[in-house]
A and B are shown apart, each in its own frame.
Chain A
Amino acid sequence: MTNALVTRKRGKRPARFDGLILNRISLTIFGACGLMLLYVLANGFYRNPGVFIQQVLNGLQLGFIYALIALGYTMIYGIVKLINFAHGDVFMVGAFSSFYAISMLDLHRWPEWVWADAPPALVTLPGTVTVILLSMLISGALAVVIERFAYRPLRNKPRIAALITAIGVSFFMEYFGALPFVYTNNYQTYDRPFEVTVFSAGQIPIWVIVSFWVLLGVSVGIFLWLSWRWKCGDVAALAWRRHPLLQFGLLFGGFMAVVLTLTGVPLRIGDRFWELSVSSVMLVIMGSSIVLQVLLQYIVAHTRLGMAMRAAAYDKQAARLMGINVDMVISATFAIGGGLAGAAGVLFATAFRQVYYLMGITPGLKAFVAAVVGGIGSIPGAFVGSLIMGQTEVLAAGFISTPMRDAIAFSLLIIVLLLWPQGIYGEPPADKV
């Protein structure tokens, strides 16, 4: 058979050399490119540390929003193996529902309906939480409806059919939203559910910062103690180490302590002050993102529903045989994922003050990329991947090339996939022979 693609027997083989040297040469070239990149970033830091750290903080804000979207992607992919392209539009609907709740219903000021002259703190906090919860409810319900009517009938059909359906649902939601009597096809200014205050150095009371450090220190201490107990043979310590309150303490305490120290304490190098500031939007985004993620981790790791979800993600057939209602579990996954996307929509609109019928596409895709970078199907992976994604985007825009930020963000995807084909936290797929 003469076929270029089929290995042929050759009469005399020419001498072959070890390719290790070539591999090392290419590694050196890659390493040099990486070092150049590091040099660019280090140069940016050296020139103006304040601006650099401010960019890192902005990236953190973006990353926390992406994390909420990415969690939905990763859970849905983990359980039904479907790239849910409609997820970005669920996010868009979340943003729009909060937009209408605020601009038409004034829902963010509902405590004033009950108590006419309530103090502002008592109005803002419950109002904001209500708006976020309403958006989560609406987008969660929407995700369930999409799953029920578009994906479930195709569950046993080829995977590509479900994928095309997801694209179709996404187009439908976008262009239905663009119709003049729905959202119209214009950008609309979004009224934030709370007033923005910018805290710069010296404006945050020192006891707040100290208390976050104490929270972090206590959590780390408990964590280390539990690790030590586990090493000593106490099996229960391992379960306690995953307790949601401990995780909350670690994550919330850690991020808040670092961010508030950087922005609240007047630091200086030589005769130059770091002019850093943090806005209340950023704090709200970080806080609610961490709360929701810890809640999700609790649901997945500690409840019966979470156990059923993990079982269904691992092996749907076996889960069904164990008496798990897989359809219900998938619906619940979509509801949770949609709810998180809705919350992300509110936070995104709050941060960028705009709503638009195509607003879900780019953040949705970037969050998906973040989920892949972190290892799709893994919840901590989605979080870590999103933080990396946010940093890449912001640092690329700030220090490499502003118009190329999307290109660099997606190059990151390709590079990560080449280095770790399953993502950072991903597990190698079960190879079916």
Chain B
Amino acid sequence: MAKFKKPSVYFVAGSLLIFLVIQGLISTGTLNDYWKGIIFWGGAITIVTLGLNLIYGFNGQFSLGQYGFYGIGAYGSAYVTYHWVRGDPAAMVVALFGSLLVIGLYAALAWGLRRFYGVTVKARFTFYLIITILGFWASVVVLVPLLGPMMWGFFAALPEAVAQPLVFFLALISGGMLAGITSFLFGLPVLELGSDYFGIATLGFTIIVKVLLDNTDTILPFPAMKGARGMLGIPRWTTWAWVFGTLFVVIVIMRNLLHSSVGRAIVSVREDERAAELVGIDVANAKILAFVLGSVFAGVAGGLRAHDITFLHPQSFHFIQSFNPLIIVVFGGLGSITGTVFTGFLWIVLLEGVLRLFLPSGYETWRFVIYPLILLMMMLLRPEGLFGTYELPFLRAAHVAKRQAIAQKPEEVPV
């Protein structure tokens, strides 16, 4: 036990306590379904926002595309389980093994491209795009008849209590991978742009995803998603253990990543891109890594949310919603994991729980009038966010705690 430091032990013990308390409240029925939904929602939003914190708070890339990836993950994993519970493993095979195949092809292509010098980003993007299309096409044609019956037989042999969580886990992973592949393809050319232009391009991405989700059954070949009518019949598999487990894993992954030398490289890109490049950091790769990882988090969170509400509608991934993670991450403090987690839950609980329940009837719409006012007051009084750069001791790293986020520096000092 001597290997573990005190903050780690406290952190794990505290997390376990929170988990057990809320699990107890749910098991005894103290929290009704409404509040349970609010807490699960809060968990999903928190994971999405942690992804944004990695992209914007730690890597300095202003992104509004988080809800696009959230939507891709939600629809992807929901499509997988929708077909799985109806006895069709094809979607699972394509989403899981197809994504793995594509990632493998990416690795091969990256290895091949390293043999060439002077390849422009646009050319790289073209080849990656072609490889992606080929990979998914091959997985539909080859892998589905090959692996589909095998996989179905394997899961049929397992007891139900093991098979169902395993399928859910694989569906979440598939959603995350689909979001990750999309974000890699999108981020490859677009991350080259400057900060504001990148933000606008990601906003455009969210809108494109929303339009595509509106037309999943007419233009895209996914009839079960039912386009603008909304997708019904997703199994309700999300439990508090799943939400909490995912959140815990995401926090630990982020913490460990940011404490490593790769994490320091990511943070150095935020501090000064040019200086980072001069000390030999591959800036483009650092940006891609943070962007893809943040999007994978969003995709997994989408899967959790989809299997909680069991109904998906493109309107929930409207670009106006994509301001929510941004607002939460700024509220909690850019570059603070603690602040993000706290504010993510607070935001959902306040906005959807407390304000909706405690405003007198007929005044529910007032909560969107009150909430921007709180936002304005907050920005005027404490623009660095609730927590600033504060971190719990477990999550704290010297370079994160000491320095101010570059985004928090004033643009110019008055004369």
A interface residues with partner B (beta carbon < 8 Å) = 1-7, 14-20, 22-23, 25-27, 29-30, 81, 83, 150, 153-162, 164-165, 167-172, 174-176, 178-179, 185, 316-317, 320-321, 361, 365, 368-369, 372, 401, 403-404, 406-407, 410-411, 413-414, 417-418, 421, 429, 433
Chain A interface secondary structure, helix, strand, loop or mixed? Answer: helix
In residues 181-240 of chain B, which contact A (Cβ within 8 Å)? Answer: 189-190, 192-194, 196-197, 199-201, 203-205, 207-208, 211-212, 214-215, 218-219
Q: With a CB–CB cut-off of 8 A, which chain B residues contact A429?
A: 194
Q: How far is the CB of B239 from chain A (nearest CB, A)?
A: 33
> Are B262 and A3 in contact, CB atoms less than 8 angstroms apart?
yes
- CA–CA, A3 to B409, complex, Å? 29
In residues 255-307 of chain B, which contact A (Cβ within 8 Å)? Answer: 261-262, 265-266, 274, 280-282, 285-286, 289
- CA–CA, A169 to B380, complex, Å? 13
A156 with B123, Cβ < 8 A, contacts A16-B116, A414-B204, A417-B193 known = no
> Are B376 and A160 in contact, CB atoms less than 8 angstroms apart?
no
Q: With a CB–CB cut-off of 8 A, which chain B residues contact A17?
A: 115-117
Nearest B residue to A432, CB-CB: B274
A30 with B414, Cβ < 8 A, contacts A3-B262, A168-B379 known = no
A421 with B415, Cβ < 8 A, contacts A164-B379, A404-B219 known = no
Is B323 an interface residue, CB under 8 A from the partner? Answer: yes
Q: With a CB–CB cut-off of 8 A, which chain A residues contact B380?
A: 153-154, 165
> Are A23 and B115 in contact, CB atoms less than 8 angstroms apart?
no
Is B368 an interface residue, CB under 8 A from the partner? Answer: yes
> Are A361 and B320 in contact, CB atoms less than 8 angstroms apart?
yes
Most buried by B among A155, A403, A414, A418: A414
Binds A, one of B6-14, B171-179, B326-334: B326-334
**7 extra A-B contacts, CB within 8 A, seeds A19-B119, A161-B379, A168-B376:** A6-B281, A81-B411, A156-B411, A160-B330, A160-B334, A167-B375, A171-B375
- CA–CA, A406 to B228, complex, Å? 15
> Are A159 and B407 in contact, CB atoms less than 8 angstroms apart?
yes
Nearest B residue to A362, CB-CB: B207
Nearest B residue to A80, CB-CB: B411
- CA–CA, A411 to B209, complex, Å? 11
Which of B118, B211, B265, B415 contacts A23 (CB under 8 A)?
A: B118
- CA–CA, A4 to B293, complex, Å? 15
Q: How far is the CB of A69 from chain B (nearest CB, A)?
A: 15
A18 with B372, Cβ < 8 A, contacts A178-B365, A361-B320 known = no
> Are A407 and B211 in contact, CB atoms less than 8 angstroms apart?
yes
Q: With a CB–CB cut-off of 8 A, which chain A residues contact B118?
A: 18-20, 23
Q: How far is the CB of A75 from chain B (nearest CB, A)?
A: 16
Nearest B residue to A413, CB-CB: B204
Q: How many residues of B contact A (CB 8 A)?
A: 75
> Are A158 and B371 in contact, CB atoms less than 8 angstroms apart?
no
- CA–CA, A29 to B407, complex, Å? 39
Q: How far is the CB of B390 from chain A (nearest CB, A)?
A: 17
Q: With a CB–CB cut-off of 8 A, which chain B residues contact A5?
A: 261-262, 265-266, 281-282, 285-286, 289
> Are A154 and B379 in contact, CB atoms less than 8 angstroms apart?
yes
Nearest B residue to A403, CB-CB: B215
Is B399 an interface residue, CB under 8 A from the partner? Answer: no
Leading 9 A-B pairs by shortest Cβ distance = A19-B119, A175-B368, A26-B126, A410-B204, A19-B116, A172-B372, A168-B375, A161-B383, A26-B123
A19 with B117, Cβ < 8 A, contacts A6-B261, A6-B280, A160-B330 known = yes
Q: With a CB–CB cut-off of 8 A, which chain A residues contact B117?
A: 16-19
> Are A161 and B122 in contact, CB atoms less than 8 angstroms apart?
no
Q: With a CB–CB cut-off of 8 A, which chain A residues contact B411?
A: 81, 156, 158-159
> Are B368 and A316 in contact, CB atoms less than 8 angstroms apart?
no
> Are B261 and A410 in contact, CB atoms less than 8 angstroms apart?
no
Q: Return the CB mask of B378-415 against A: 1 if under 8 Å, else 0.
A: 01100110000000000000000000000111111111
- CA–CA, A368 to B196, complex, Å? 12
> Are A165 and B379 in contact, CB atoms less than 8 angstroms apart?
yes
Q: With a CB–CB cut-off of 8 A, which chain B residues contact A160?
A: 62, 330, 334, 407-408
- CA–CA, A179 to B194, complex, Å? 39
- CA–CA, A294 to B190, complex, Å? 35
Q: With a CB–CB cut-off of 8 A, which chain B residues contact A174?
A: 368
B interface residues with partner A (beta carbon < 8 Å) = 62, 113, 115-120, 122-123, 125-127, 130, 189-190, 192-194, 196-197, 199-201, 203-205, 207-208, 211-212, 214-215, 218-219, 261-262, 265-266, 274, 280-282, 285-286, 289, 319-320, 323, 326-327, 330, 334, 365-366, 368-369, 371-373, 375-376, 379-380, 383-384, 407-415
A169 with B410, Cβ < 8 A, contacts A5-B282, A6-B282 known = no
Which of A167, A403, A417 contacts B201 (CB under 8 A)?
A: A417
8 intermolecular pairs with C-beta atoms under 8 Å apart: A5-B265, A5-B266, A15-B115, A19-B119, A25-B123, A159-B411, A178-B368, A421-B192
- CA–CA, A30 to B189, complex, Å? 14
> Are B412 and A418 in contact, CB atoms less than 8 angstroms apart?
no
Which of A16, A158, A406 contacts B211 (CB under 8 A)?
A: A406
A164 with B274, Cβ < 8 A, contacts A414-B205, A417-B190, A417-B193 known = no
> Are B262 and A4 in contact, CB atoms less than 8 angstroms apart?
yes
> Are B274 and A433 in contact, CB atoms less than 8 angstroms apart?
yes
Q: With a CB–CB cut-off of 8 A, which chain A residues contact B207?
A: 365, 406-407, 410
- CA–CA, A185 to B368, complex, Å? 13
Nearest B residue to A2, CB-CB: B261
> Are B123 and A22 in contact, CB atoms less than 8 angstroms apart?
yes
Q: How far is the CB of B336 from chain A (nearest CB, A)?
A: 14
- CA–CA, A30 to B410, complex, Å? 41
Q: How far is the CB of A329 from chain B (nearest CB, A)?
A: 15
- CA–CA, A26 to B129, complex, Å? 11
Q: With a CB–CB cut-off of 8 A, which chain B residues contact A410?
A: 204-205, 207-208
Q: With a CB–CB cut-off of 8 A, which chain B residues contact A316?
A: 412
Q: With a CB–CB cut-off of 8 A, which chain B residues contact A407?
A: 207-208, 211-212
Which of B289, B323, B383 contacts A167 (CB under 8 A)?
A: B323
- CA–CA, A418 to B126, complex, Å? 13
> Are B410 and A421 in contact, CB atoms less than 8 angstroms apart?
no
Nearest B residue to A418, CB-CB: B189
- CA–CA, A414 to B113, complex, Å? 24
- CA–CA, A164 to B328, complex, Å? 10
- CA–CA, A320 to B375, complex, Å? 31
- CA–CA, A124 to B211, complex, Å? 40
Q: With a CB–CB cut-off of 8 A, which chain A residues contact B199?
A: 83
Q: With a CB–CB cut-off of 8 A, which chain A residues contact B208?
A: 406-407, 410-411
Q: How far is the CB of A322 from chain B (nearest CB, A)?
A: 12
Q: How far is the CB of A371 from chain B (nearest CB, A)?
A: 10
> Are A30 and B369 in contact, CB atoms less than 8 angstroms apart?
no
> Are A3 and B415 in contact, CB atoms less than 8 angstroms apart?
no
Q: With a CB–CB cut-off of 8 A, which chain B residues contact A403?
A: 211, 214-215, 218-219
Nearest A residue to B211, CB-CB: A407
Q: With a CB–CB cut-off of 8 A, which chain B residues contact A365?
A: 203, 207, 319
- CA–CA, A140 to B289, complex, Å? 44
